[in-house]
Amino acid sequence: MVRKYFGTDGIRGRVGEYPVTADFMLKLGWAAGTVLTRHTEGKKRVLIGKDTRVSGYMFESALEAGLVAAGVDVDMLGPMPTPAIAYLTRTFRAAAGIVISASHNPVEDNGIKFFAADGYKLPDQVELEIEALMDEPLITNSSHHLGKARRLNDATGRYIEFCKGTLPAGFDLTGLKIVVDCANGATYHAGPRVFKELGAKTIAMGNTPNGFNINEQCGSTHMDGLQQAVIEQQADFGIAFDGDGDRVLFVDGNGEVVDGDELIYIIAQHRRASGNCRGVAGTQMSNLGLELALKDLGIPFERTKVGDRYVVEALKANNWELGGEASGHVLCSDLNSTGDGIVAALQVVLALAESGRTLAELKTGMSKFPQTMINVRLSAKVDISNNQVINDAVTAAETELAGRGRVLLRPSGTEPLIRVMVEGEDQALVNKLVASLAETVEQQVG
């Protein structure tokens, strides 16, 4: 299926450059409203939430106008984490939810993500229907058939209560000292409040968004500030979200970063003790150390293509509940339909509390393998799968790793480049092999 606009995670790009423009979003709102209401009998209601980028105001207004022109009622949520919009789409029985966000990207970017009525990403066929309608003229309904728009003022409170409700009744965090970095993004309000209302002494940072400072030297893409704050405040640990709140990373009491693979291991280990972990879905980029650690626990593990869409598909197919990526996109599908930074963080905190161990102690059961990646930029997108020289080089590298490592060559889905990744037990060997493979790829197709 050839797509013109939708990627694996919606539509994303530089603000002001097509298709991330006001006129495109107006047309997208109309097309989406027209198509989505075909698939949801009797439901003509769509929620719109956003992160804290200044461009969100513009795109929110444009989408609202397009949806109303198509006869769809619109509920404006304001700045809200992406997983909150998935949750509220379900609870409000809406036809769909729309997120205006570029996640962990800088403020110059923005994008659109859709959730269907069940809180999951839109099916491919629905996205293709929306794209097809983008080529048709926008037709505005008559006055008596227009939609209406309103702002929901209690959306954040509803989501906070949902997050707290994912923990056992009576669970509290009294006695814990936590630093929470909100990336000046969508969790700036809900994130600190959840942990504070659960009884923790909560120190918030990255919680003063001004429209331009989202992900700017803060949050899960810039961990230095949180590491320093945890040490200075003598906190038990720190939590970092990304700009739209669907990713989370931790910093332990020693100031060491705990990545998504390690968090998945901690949750899996805790759930296994109660017989509630049938399997884990990761991606091609998941560390080999996670796979081996789960094997030691007797927990099945499956790799998918990179992207939360594929992790969700694997969880559904296997009837599993836990998966994610090293970036901190952790899915607990028994609790929410998409990656949820706050909910995942609470699952880690639950494991800490019920084990009586520290974060540094809990992660020791998993030994991460050194992993190095080099991006080889190309003049144009090229299929390397049948290049014999590259394939021979990959085989030689895998032989040298002797079954205790991995080689992955992955084309970027958005740019003309090949990501060359090598993973193994010996960092020096990994560095040597990845450099050699990157050079081979560049000589062949660069």
* CA separation for the pair 217, 232 (Å, rounded): 18
Residue 6 resides in a domain? no
Instruction: Return mean pLDDT, the chain.
Output: 95
pLDDT digits (tens, 9 = 90+) for 279-323: 999 999 999 999 999 999 999 999 999 888 899 999 999 999 999
What is the reported pLDDT for 1? Answer: 59
In a domain, 222, yes or no: yes
Q: Cα 77 from chain centroid?
A: 20
Residue 4, domain member (yes or no): no
Q: Tell me what the mean pLDDT of segment 105-128 comes to.
A: 94
The answer to whether residues 97 and 86 touch, using CB atoms and an 8 Å cutoff, is yes
- Domain endpoint, select from 365, 382, 402: 365
Residue 294 lies in a domain: yes
pLDDT at 132 > cutoff 70: yes
Question: Which alpha helices (H) appear in 99-247, and where do they start and end?
Answer: 124-133, 155-164, 190-197, 224-233
Cα angle at 28 between 342 and 316, to 5 degrees? 45
Structural domains in the chain (count):
3
* Strand ranges inside 352-416, DSSP E: 371-377, 405-411
Whether the pLDDT of residue 145 is over 80: the answer is: yes
pLDDT score recorded for residue 277 = 96
pLDDT of 40 over the 80 cut: no
Indicate the SS3 state at residue 50: strand
Distance CA 374, CA 237 (A): 31
Radius of gyration of the chain (CA): 22
The answer to the question of residue 178 being in a domain is yes
Residue 367, token pair as written in the block: 């030994």
The pLDDT of residue 411 is 86
Q: Residue 420 corresponds to which tokens in the numbers above?
A: 């060359």
Q: Are 35 and 43 in contact (CB under 8 A)?
A: no
Give the model's pLDDT for residue 379. Answer: 81
| Secondary structure class of 220 (helix, strand, coil) | helix
What's the pTM value of the predicted model, to 2 decimals? 0.93
Provide the strand spans (E) within 41-81.
45-50, 73-79
175: left (phi over 0), alpha (psi -120 to 50) or beta: left
Rounded Cα gap, residues 115 and 132, in angstroms? 19
**Can you give the CATH number for the domain in which 434 is found?**
3.30.310.50
CB 71 within 8 A of CB 99: no
Query: Does a cis peptide bond (omega within 30 degrees of 0) precede residue 81?
Result: no
Classify residue 369 by its DSSP letter.
Answer: P
Segment 368-396 mean pLDDT: 91
Among 29-33, 37-41, 247-251, the least confident range: 37-41
Model confidence band, residue 255 (pLDDT cutoffs 50, 70, 90): very high
Domain residue limits at 149: 11-153
Whether 239 and 275 share a structural domain: yes
Same structural domain for residues 24 and 131?
yes
User: Is 160 in a helix, a strand, or coil?
Assistant: helix
Last residue of a domain, one of 133, 153, 173: 153
Q: What is the mean pLDDT of residues 66-86?
A: 97
Q: What is the mean pLDDT of residues 177-187?
A: 98
In a domain, 181, yes or no: yes
Residue at a domain's end among 153, 182, 200: 153
Name the pLDDT band for 378 (thresholds 50, 70, 90). confident
The answer to whether the CB of 193 falls within 8 A of the CB of 222 is no
pLDDT recorded at residue 326? 93
Is residue 284 located within the same domain as residue 412? no
Which residues are part of the catalytic machinery? 103
CA 291 to mean position of chain CA atoms: 21
Assigned domain for 82 exists: yes
Residue 423 contacts residue 406 (beta carbons within 8 Å) = yes
**Does 205 share its domain with 338?**
yes
- The span from the CA of 25 to the CA of 124, in Å, is 20
Residues 185-242: tens digit of each pLDDT: 999 999 999 999 999 999 999 999 999 999 999 999 999 999 999 999 999 999 999 9
Residues 260 and 284 in one domain: yes
CA atoms within 13 A of residue 334's CA, in its CB half-sphere:
14
Cα(96)–Cα(117) distance, rounded to whole angstroms? Answer: 5
Domain shared by 193 and 323, yes or no? yes
Are 219 and 341 members of one domain? yes
pLDDT at 414 over 70: no
Reported as a pLDDT band with limits 50, 70 and 90, residue 415 is: confident
Same domain membership, residue 169 and residue 124: no
Q: What percent of the chain has pLDDT over 90?
A: 89
How far CA 115 is from CA of 99, 270, 305, 401, in Å, comes to 8, 30, 20, 42
Q: Can you tell me the distance from the alpha carbon of 114 to that of 287, in angstroms, rounded to the nearest whole number?
A: 29
**Residue whose C-alpha is closest to residue 211's, from 100, 339, 75:** 100
Q: Does one domain contain both 407 and 287?
A: no
Instruction: Answer whether residue 413 shows pLDDT above 70.
Output: no
Name the pairing type of β-strands 237-241 and 248-251: antiparallel
Residues 53, 185 share a domain: no
- 65: domain CATH number is 3.40.120.10
Q: What average pLDDT does range 119-129 have in this prediction?
A: 93
Q: How confident is the model at residue 37 (pLDDT cuts 50, 70, 90)?
A: confident
Question: Do 58 and 102 lie in a common domain?
Answer: yes
pLDDT band at 29 (very low <50, low <70, confident <90, very high): very high
Nearest to 263, CA basis, from 340, 190, 320, 186: 340
- Please count the other Cβ atoms lying within 10 Å of the Cβ belonging to residue 361: 13
Preceding peptide of 19 cis, ω within 30°: yes
223/344 same-domain check: yes
Residue 2 domain flag: no
